[in-house]
Amino acid sequence: MSSILIHLLDKLIQPFFQCGDEAGLSYLCTMSKQGKKNIRQLSLSELEQYFEDLGEKKFRTKQVYEWLWQKHAHSFDAMTNLSKELRAKLAEHFSLPALTVDATQYSSDGTVKSRFKTHEGHLVEGVLIPTDERKTACVSSQIGCSLSCKFCATGYMDRKRNLEFDEIYDEVVLINQQCERVYDKKLSNIVFMGMGEPLLNYKNLLRAIEKITSPDGLGMSPRRITVSTAGVAKMIRQLGDDKVKFKLALSLHAANDKKRNEIMPINETNNLKALIDALNYFYKQTGNEITFEYILFQGFNDSLKDADELIKIYRQVPADLVNIIEYNPIDMAKFRKPEEKVVEEFMQYLERNRVNARLRRSRGKDIDAACGQLANKETTV
């Protein structure tokens, strides 16, 4: 055999048997060393390289990509415009793990809570919150949480792991499908206010939002997405550096460090001064809307003195809004909701001092779907 022919044969089989760091890395080799790779973790260019290695035509990449991100296929067999041989080859080389709906509850106020199951059996919750004006998905970013906020049911759970970006995407897709089925409308808004701290799952958060807002994905406007954080100053600054386009909400809940330390241990390493500086930096870099979230607890943060401290914080940050939230009881905590008169006085005091404040009534309390209540309790379909 001539050396030229040997060289040509080597060039042909090299992608299948030789691994390297270059763009032409063979995924067949990667699979043999690491087991099946989640196909949704591949970028478009990596998927193109895979089909090129197989000798398939370029349009196959677009077909498969559409099945993964627009048609929301959860198996290779569902990709019906591919040949059986190609579907079998994809199944041989790749996995396609996806969230599934494990249980669903319907509230008397129209709220829908879903418990999702990951491919290895972990559980995580998400909520569809309907109003006349909008249909909002409240999604989770972690399985459990590590921050231990004293008023939040999720804070009493262990953090099992971060959700992958494609799992976060699945949450939104599944809630959107529920919205279309129950209300005959698509989602209008997304809030990252479910289980976990989004900024402690930073890369997956941003990659999920990128796919949610991409024309190749769900095509939603980033201006309709709000990410809520308990206050990770370093990552708030990183959001500014990354010039994100979505809105940011800070779960404040106490306007001095002493009280905030009591209910939110993260404040001990991310105090109010650090958070104020980070929020101002975020706004300077992006100009995006900032909201404060403030749950009222009876006898703890509901006095007019507390309102004064909240006003001082509000005036140090270009915040658009303060959401005053009624407390939703959980079994693990002894906090109580203030009397309605106290809530009204607190709101009126903020308004007199020219604070743009809104009282947010909780939805889905009868199914433990309201703010701070998500904890993977037993549910019924």
Tens of pLDDT, residue by residue, the chain (381 residues): 433 333 333 433 443 333 333 333 333 443 434 478 999 999 999 999 999 998 998 899 999 999 999 999 999 999 999 999 999 999 999 999 999 999 999 988 899 999 999 999 999 999 999 999 999 999 999 999 999 899 888 888 889 999 999 999 999 999 999 999 999 999 999 999 999 999 999 999 999 999 999 999 999 999 999 999 999 999 999 999 999 999 999 999 999 999 999 999 999 999 999 999 999 999 999 999 999 999 999 999 999 999 999 999 999 999 999 999 988 888 888 899 999 999 999 999 999 999 999 998 766 555 554 454 445 454 433
Other beta carbons less than 10 A from residue 218's beta carbon: 19
Q: In this structure, what token pair is assigned to residue 225?
A: 């997405």
Tell me, what's the pLDDT at 28?
A: 40
pLDDT at 16: 38
pLDDT at 18: 37
pLDDT given for residue 365 in this prediction: 59
The residue from 149, 152, 179, 371 that is catalytic is 371
82: tokens are 């591919």
Please give the Cα distance from 263 to 258 (Å, whole number).
Answer: 9
* E strand map for 273-360: 290-296, 321-326, 357-360
Q: Which of 98, 77, 74 is nearest to 87 (CA)?
A: 77
What phi and psi values does residue 102 have, to the nearest 5 degrees? -90, -35
Quick check: is 125 catalytic?
A: yes
- Report the amino acid identity of residue 341: K
Residues 6+ apart with CB under 8 A from 116: 99, 100, 101, 102, 123, 124, 125, 126, 170, 171, 174
**What residue segments make up the domains of the chain, in order of their start?**
3-95, 100-367
Among 125, 164, 171, 293, the one annotated catalytic: 125
Superfamily of domain 100-367: Aldolase class I (3.20.20.70)
CA distance linking residue 252 with residue 262, whole number of Å: 12
Q: Could you name the CATH architecture of 3-95?
A: Orthogonal Bundle (1.10)
Q: Cite the beta strand spans of the chain per DSSP E.
A: 37-38, 94-95, 100-106, 112-117, 123-130, 135-138, 142-143, 161-162, 189-192, 225-229, 247-251, 290-296, 321-326, 357-360
Phi, psi torsion values for 326, nearest 5 degrees: -75, 140
Q: What is the pLDDT of residue 366?
A: 57
The model's pTM is 0.86
Strand order in the sheet with 247-251: 100-106, 112-117, 123-130, 135-138, 189-192, 225-229, 247-251, 290-296, 321-326, 357-360
Q: Which residues pair with 251 in a beta bridge?
A: 293
138 part of the active site: no
Amino acid 363: pLDDT: 63
